[in-house]
Every structure is written in C-alpha cells, then in structure tokens.
Amino acid sequence: MRKLMDIVGESEVLYKREDLIAYECDGYTMYKGMPRAVVFVQSTQQVSEVVKCLNKEEVPYIARGAGTGLSGGATPLGGEVIISMVKMKRMLHLDLENRKAVVEPGFINLKLTQSISDKGYYYAPDPSSQYACTIGGNVAENSGGAHCLKYGVTTNHILGLEIVLPSGEIVEIGKEGIPDQPGYDLLGLLTGSEGTLGIVTKVTVKVLKNPEGKKTVLAYFDEIDDASQAVSDIIAAGIIPAALEMMDDVAIEGVESAAYPVGHPRDIAAFLLIEVDGIVAGIDDQIEEILTVCKQNNVREVKVAKNEAERALWWANRKMGFGAMGAISPDYLVQDGVIPRTRLPEVLAKIKEIGKKYNLRIANIFHAGDGNLHPLILYDASVPGESERAAKAGSECLKVCADAGGSITGEHGVGIEKAAEMRFIFTDEEIAAQTNIREVFNPKDLLNPGKLFPQPGRCVEVKRAGQNEMQPVP
C-alpha cells in the first residue's frame, strides 16, 4: 500500500473497507468480491509504475472505468487491486479534417459526441449507458449500442491505442491512427479483450459527420411473429436502418411505468423502433418502404416521429429500458444473446417457454436488426432460491441462442457472468487457442484474472447468484 501511495499520492489510494464497498461489483450485481485497494491513476507513467509494482509483488489487479459493465468484467473475485482510470479523462487531441480524436480512457462516451457536436460531428458507438460509461471501458468490452446496425461497434471506430502491458511496458499501437499498419491486428485483438491483455491509457477514435437527415418510425404489432417478420423484410428490402429496435409486452409495461412513458398501447405484443438516416433525398423512399413492410405484416399502428422532441422521447423510453424494469420488479438480470435475425420468432418463443419453466417473467428489449437479444429476467432476490432460478433461466436463454447458431454475448461481454457459457459455443481446444494468446501478453495472469474464460472444471452449477457476501475466489 505504501509503495502504491508513493507512486500516486496518499489521497489516491483507498483501502478502508467502507471505501471499498462501492467497488465490489460493476453493473452486474449478482456476484460481488472485495478488492484489496483502489488506486486512482492520472498518467500513463503512473499506470506503468503501479503495474510494475503489483507485478513485482505478484498482486492481481483490474483496470476499471465507470463500472457500468454488465458482465462483471470489473468485479474483483477477491483481493485484487483496482486501478481506477476515471481521473484520466482529458481529450488530448482533435483533428476533424482527418476525422479522429485522441482521448484518455476515462473520457465519457457521450461527452465525446457532445464536445464535437457543435461542429456537426459525433462518435458512433452509443451504448445505453453512454452518459456514464468511459471510452476505455468501451474498448475493453467492444461496446455496441442501438446504432451499430449501420455504423458498427467500438472495434470499427478505434484507430489507435496506447497500452500498458502487464510487464509495465508502454506500447503504442496504430500510431497516429493510420490504418492497416504492418503487423498482426493488435488493435482488433485488444478491443473486446475485457481488460485481460493490457491497460488502455490513450485511445484514438474515428469521428463521423452527422447524417444530413434522420427519420424515426414506431410500429405497434399484435403478434410478435409479425414484428419479427417485419424486421427480416426491412433488411431484405435492401434497407439498412441506423437502428432497428424491438420491445415486447412485458418490457413495455416496464418502460411505461418508469420515467419516460410514451403512451404505448398496453395490449400490443411488441413494437419496433426504426430509424433511418442519411441523405435527405433518399430517406422518404425508405420510410415509405418500411411503412409498406409493416402494413404487410399486420401492423396495428405505425407512425413517423413528428419532431425531434418526439423522437428524443421515444429514444429515452428505449435507452432507459433496462433501468425501467426496476419499476415492475425488485431485481432483474440482463442477458445478451445473439442469433441470426431470421430466427427471431422461434428463439423468442423458446425464451417465453424458459420463463414459464422457471416461473419468472422475462421482458425483451433488444437490437432486433442485428439479432442481439436482451432478455431481462425479472426476479426478487429476497425470495429464497429466486436468484438462482433467474441465473439458470439466463443461462438457458444463452443456450437457446447458441443452439440457433448464435453467440452468448453481442455487446455486454463475458466477464464473470458468462465464462461457463463460453463452452456453449467454443470447444476446450478453441478456448485454449485464446488463453494461449493471453499468455503472450499476460503471462502471470495477474491482470484481471478469472474473467472471460471458463476455469478448468468449473461449470454452470458452481456459479453462485444473488449472494451479497464476499465470494471466495473460485
């Protein structure tokens, strides 16, 4: 502790139990562990020195941003030192002519767009937590968002990284943000590595020009199958909407009871929120086609946002959707499976069956356009056994996605939560191919240990849910 204080200053290290409680978990609250200390770093050099010090003492450590992650990636298993990046939050360079910005990892996602919007630019990845989450965290998780259907996820917008390796060495990858630099694509490998390969200390991102026009459609359906079919038909019509979101009846009940009610009919099965952007002259045609597709699929009502205020309300209603579940359930678990979008109807039906089987309500709020489902499993942690049932139901939802040719996570990451479920989609040999790569960067496995990959011999049943006490290192 003394050594860490020597590097960052006494006031920048937390070590008292009461100060550490806030760092027991991230946005995934089912699993908690107590860190040994929290260290606030302010420069790349400090990160390097802290890492070297911890390395020497063989103390495990975790880099943490805003702690909004949804899979436990920044949650200690017990005894790690947390290196908090939140004080490294400056924008270092902005070069609009070359469409790039350089920020420190603690820079907040939404702030990036806000700081360039007056010039007509924005940063595309827009996770729902964008008002709080950091760019460094986005890199670690390869975060997505509602608009990644057309514009891609974080990895498509990262041009360069400065990282501190677990050896303490500082490395610059993608110098100046110039593309395709000779060598293996380490930018691509590091993005989404959930903080297990290095600590990001500087990020060069691509910024985009605002689209000339934007129109948003809301379509109410009486049958979930009709809504799903409309999703496929829109894509098949050759339209790539900027966003294509879906919400089912249980989810609607939640968002209408929360802070941003829109007045959605309460007796519909699902709605689609569809946004088209681009050159103004081309948008109306696409909107017409979307309306036609919706009508062909028995839509009850479909409308185009009349103004920016209406559009903003629809989006606030959607983006606060997860939190809104708090209005109808004491606790909820967010899942994050992905399926080929053509298989939406059958997978949604199976998820409904899972809800029945475990006697839990499941709400669905998701990115229908790219088949990224977010079943929200509603439960009450104070009812004995319900947390465990929720975790099992969540895992089963992921199994259904995997069996449909999909993935166990589209944007929330594996973290602690889905480590065991990695086996749903990868063989042990394929997992070893990945952990072997980890060893190249992180040979002692001191950096964010126990995440992302299943522990040998550990299986779904071992996962503990809903306990608020500190967990032993599994």
Partner 1 sequence: MIVSDIENILPKEQIKENKEQDHLLGNSGVQIIEAYSEEDISKVLAYAYENEKTVNVISGGTKRGYGGEIEKADILLSLANYKGIVEHSVGDLTMTVRPGTTLKEIADELALKGQSVALDPPWPEMATIGGIISANDSGPKRLLYGSARDLVIGLRVVYADGRVIRTGGKVVKNVAGYDMNKLFIGAMGTLGVISEITIKLRPLPKYEGLSLLHFPDGNGQPIRDFSVSLLDSMMEPVTLELLSPSLAEKLTGKSSYTLAISFEDRENAVIAQEKWVRENLPAGVELTVLHQEEAKKWWEDFRRIGPNGYNDEMNEGTTLAALKIGSNNLDVLDVLQTAELLAETHHVAMEGHGGLGHGISRVYIKGQQENTAAFIHALRGKAEEKHGYVVCTHLPFKLREAVNVWGERPTYFALLEGIKKVNDPKRILNRKRFVGGI
Stretch that binds partner 1, among 83-91, 103-111, 260-268, 428-436 (CB under 8 A): 428-436
Q: How far is the CB of 380 from partner 1 (least distance, A)?
A: 30
By CB under 8 A, name the one of 122, 452, 463, 466 that touches partner 1: 452
- Looking at the Cβ atoms of 368 and 390, the one nearer to partner 1 is 368
- Residue 256, token pair as written in the block: 């209408």
- Contact of 135 with 102, CB cutoff 8 Å: no
Stretch that binds partner 1, among 10-18, 37-45, 75-83, 182-190 (CB under 8 A): 182-190
- Contact of 273 with 319, CB cutoff 8 Å: no
> For residue 18, what is the enclosing H or E element?
helix 17-20
- Looking at the Cβ atoms of 376 and 414, the one nearer to partner 1 is 414
- Residue 126, token pair as written in the block: 């827009």
- Residue 271, token pair as written in the block: 């709605």
From residue 343 to residue 382, the character string flagging contacts with partner 1 as x (rule: CB under 8 A) and all else as - is: ------------------------x--xxx----------
Q: How far is the CB of 34 from partner 1 (least distance, A)?
A: 27
Q: How far is the CB of 428 from partner 1 (least distance, A)?
A: 11
- Contact of 166 with 442, CB cutoff 8 Å: yes
| Number of CB atoms found within 10 A of residue 403's CB | 14
Q: How far is the CB of 156 from partner 1 (least distance, A)?
A: 5
Residue the block writes with tokens 């039906």: 349
| Cβ burial 49-84 (10 Å sphere, 16+ → b, else e) | bbbbbbbeeeebbbbbbbbbbbbbbbbbbbebbbbb
By CB under 8 A, name the one of 179, 263, 457, 472 that touches partner 1: 179
Q: Is 152 in the site for partner 1 (CB under 8 A)?
A: yes
Q: How far is the CB of 465 from partner 1 (least distance, A)?
A: 20
Ordered strands of the 375-379 beta sheet: 299-304, 213-221, 270-278, 243-248, 362-366, 375-379, 331-334
Q: How far is the CB of 396 from partner 1 (least distance, A)?
A: 17
Write the DSSP symbol of residue 460: G
Q: What pairs with residue 247 in β-bridges?
A: 271, 365
Q: Which residues in 89-108 contact partner 1 (CB under 8 A)? A: 96-99
Q: How far is the CB of 444 from partner 1 (least distance, A)?
A: 14
Q: Which residues in 214-253 contact partner 1 (CB under 8 A)? A: 232, 235-236, 238-240
Count, residues near partner 1 per rule CB under 8 A? 89
By CB under 8 A, name the one of 29, 156, 298, 329 that touches partner 1: 156
- In DSSP notation, 306-363 reads -SHHHHHHHHHHHHTHHHHGGGT-SEEEE---B--GGGHHHHHHHHHHHHHHHT--EE
Stretch that binds partner 1, among 23-31, 80-88, 256-264, 426-434 (CB under 8 A): 426-434
By CB under 8 A, name the one of 47, 102, 187, 420 that touches partner 1: 187
Instruction: Tell me the C-alpha distance between 302 and 112, whole Å.
Output: 34
- Looking at the Cβ atoms of 4 and 140, the one nearer to partner 1 is 140
Q: What pairs with residue 214 in β-bridges?
A: 277
By CB under 8 A, name the one of 271, 453, 466, 471 that touches partner 1: 453
Q: Is 420 in the site for partner 1 (CB under 8 A)?
A: no
- Contact of 138 with 154, CB cutoff 8 Å: yes
- Contact of 164 with 50, CB cutoff 8 Å: no
Q: Is 139 in the site for partner 1 (CB under 8 A)?
A: no
| Number of CB atoms found within 10 A of residue 12's CB | 17
Q: How far is the CB of 141 from partner 1 (least distance, A)?
A: 7
- Looking at the Cβ atoms of 13 and 293, the one nearer to partner 1 is 293
Length of the chain equals 474
Instruction: Tell me the C-alpha distance between 143 and 124, whole Å.
Output: 11
Q: Is 456 in the site for partner 1 (CB under 8 A)?
A: no
Q: Which residues in 302-321 contact partner 1 (CB under 8 A)? A: none
| Closest of 146, 154, 157, 131 to residue 68, by C-alpha | 131
Q: Is 210 in the site for partner 1 (CB under 8 A)?
A: yes
Q: Which residues in 391-410 contact partner 1 (CB under 8 A)? A: 405-410
Q: Which amino acid is at 327?
A: A
Q: Which amino acid is at 345?
A: P
- Residue 165, token pair as written in the block: 């390796």
- Looking at the Cβ atoms of 38 and 244, the one nearer to partner 1 is 244
- Phi, psi torsion values for 439, nearest 5 degrees: -60, -30
CA atoms within 13 A on the CB side of 170: 12
- Looking at the Cβ atoms of 184 and 307, the one nearer to partner 1 is 184
Q: Is 417 in the site for partner 1 (CB under 8 A)?
A: no
By CB under 8 A, name the one of 186, 207, 400, 416 that touches partner 1: 186
Q: Is 342 in the site for partner 1 (CB under 8 A)?
A: yes
Stretch that binds partner 1, among 185-193, 215-223, 248-256, 318-326 (CB under 8 A): 185-193
Ordered strands of the 61-64 beta sheet: 13-14, 37-40, 81-84, 61-64
Q: Is 153 in the site for partner 1 (CB under 8 A)?
A: yes
